[in-house]
Structure 1
């Protein structure tokens, strides 16, 4: 199970016709490939233990006895070892698996008949040495757009086989053991490549767990399909993924495209994931289209100890005409984005620029809303981005804000007088709600029960880089 998940990640290389730039890039390093090899050998070793050696029978002439009929039955593998193995990347091609100096031990029963009427039986042990296996892994796309793998050009050889008989006339079998050695070696060789092919084919079940499209919430889903063929070097595999948010049920492209970016040389971790500013901005586009970037602020959302209350009495201290025209009423604010927020990544800094309107209403006794004024709000917030489980999450803090008057239904007033109060509303109401959403995180590309270990995050120019080791559980 562990290898299947890791190899599934290793070979998730869907060649695609599109040549658009990637929103997300993934790199598997030599360290990651070595981890996959260790898991792979354990799985393949278990698989080879399931070899079913068919019963073997025949006859040979043994001097001076003459013709001897024999049969070998109930053969079971008792031990198998694959001490030398390599997984090599073939630049521009794929993956090659090589195994050398393998060995297999098995036992079984023998039976013999000679001189027409003499019968005997016993047990035997077989030692197979010099087992070698080489195979290439071919990769293609299935009907769902996920990768599918198969074993091609498999070759398996058994260097030598030595059989030792026990019981009865075992001396007789030892006279023509070389014939039986050959028969057993050939029987084993015929089993190995089909088992390797079957093992590789089994990975396709796990490849289907790739979150090519991952649901985020009721508004958005995230697509991780490939946008170009993988770049395979001698030491790494680089994958280019779409990395784009979409409204659920409606894949509308945003009015901007991903910029080209390259992952820097890295060797310390198994896996590197680069998530671009395009990906973050596509999320902002999607949530804005869904109408999710608006919020009503009411007085019950403000801490009880705050000196600012959301009513016409408090606001009336800054805008007297409100207290005069609408005495003793509670108020409501509608904060609404007027265009997509812009998210930028600079070294060690993530900034979000947002333009919104703040519409103030007085709540009449019959619950109808009377508009008071509309403010134009330009804000800048800084984001702290971090890895949480298998998700990328964030939190934000307010840097600055600028207010201008858009429309007033109560006459002219000094907008600057509302700065402190509105900053308080943003800090204690809007930003905590935004952080609650951002804190839930957004899914990273995963396969099966994948776990990130010692994940480190850097903010670079135009993208976030995550370096991490990986473990598979279950």
Structure 2
């Protein structure tokens, strides 16, 4: 069976507050073709058949929900589908004979087809749910963290928009323990001049800060060679002079710089602005061969 063409000229979607999305299709058409073959002791014949459907109508409500894993779920309610007219034509050696029976066949075809439409559509929705259940709601960001963006509630349907509440929490790569703070609900400002609005709470940044801090991403130790190479790469014409200075003073007295966050950095969101507070410790120390490290400078 092959669908050669279809047309849905009158299609609309509308929000049903607190329920889902109503879909409406009217005056649709479809052209379907198939090949057939008859083998019997009396005769054999092959050919094709074309089925033209018109007056295709469908209405139903797609309910948006979620499961325990934070995946979206679709449910079809109030399904009503029917085809008003059908036209069958046959091709083949005995097509003249077959076409003489085509008109009486159209009514039974419509009757059986209209019984099958809603079960077929429901089956397709269930197949789509199977694909949605395979979506990853936990994604690795880098070598330190994972991001959980699963749904935390069923989508909120209003008269004008759909609101998706996503978790948006970072976790250390090897530890999926919940963060020691809870999120605070917030509401997006009322606007209607854009198609999509995205809101990010302080909890998103707090969880990221906590996850990276727990994973040790904010602990950095720079060696003499790394500092030297950084100076040369960013010298902008002073490379030879900096290289000479580094050889005389830096490379001759190797040292290391250690920068580490003592607490998770704190992000505060303000109207039109934000602040970032990074409690950190800064240590410069030397370590000769076969000796312990000796602190030169230490600052908090």
1:215 is aligned to 2:151: no
Give the SS at the match of 2:221. Answer: strand
- Count residues with an aligned counterpart: 276
Instruction: Give secondary structure in 2 for the equivalent of 1:250.
Output: coil
1:331 aligned partner? 255
Alpha carbon RMSD of aligned pairs, Å? 3.5
Cα pair 1:81 1:103 within 8 Å, conserved: yes
Change (3 A) 1:168 1:287: closer
The answer for the alignment partner of 1:343 in structure 2 is 267
Structure with the greater relative contact order (CA < 8 A, sep ≥ 6): 1 or 2?
1
2:85 aligned partner: 160
Provide structure 1 residue ranges, at least 5 long, that are not aligned to the other structure. Answer: 1-49, 51-75, 111-121, 315-327, 377-474
Alignment of 1:71-470 (within 5 A): 78-106=4-32, 126-142=51-67, 144-162=69-87, 168=96, 173=101, 177=103, 179-302=104-227, 303-304=231-232, 305=239, 306=242, 329-366=253-290, 368-376=292-300
Aligned to 1:14: none
Normalised by the length of structure 2, the TM-score is 0.76
Q: CA deviation at 1:215?
A: 1.1
Q: Matched residue of 2:189: which SS?
A: coil
| Shift in alpha-carbon separation, 1:301–1:168, aligned structure 2, 3 A | closer
Tell me if the contact between 1:101 and 1:132 (Cα under 8 Å) persists in the aligned partners. Answer: yes
Structure 1-normalised TM-score? 0.51
| Runs (5+) with no aligned partner, structure 2 | 37-46, 233-238
Question: Is the CA contact (8 Å cut-off) linking 2:65 and 2:155 kept in structure 1?
Answer: no
Separation of aligned partners in 2, 1:206 and 1:141: 14
Q: Which secondary structure state, in structure 2, belongs to the residue aligned with residue 351 of structure 1?
A: strand
1:335, CA displacement in angstroms? Answer: 1.1
Q: 1:356 to 1:106 in 2, by over 3 A?
A: closer
**CA offset digits 1:5-45 (Å, max 9, x no partner):** xxxxxxxxxxxxxxxxxxxxxxxxxxxxxxxxxxxxxxxxx
Report the 3-state secondary structure (helix = DSSP H, G, I; strand = E; otherwise coil) of the residue aligned with 1:271.
Answer: coil
SS in 1 for 2:128: helix
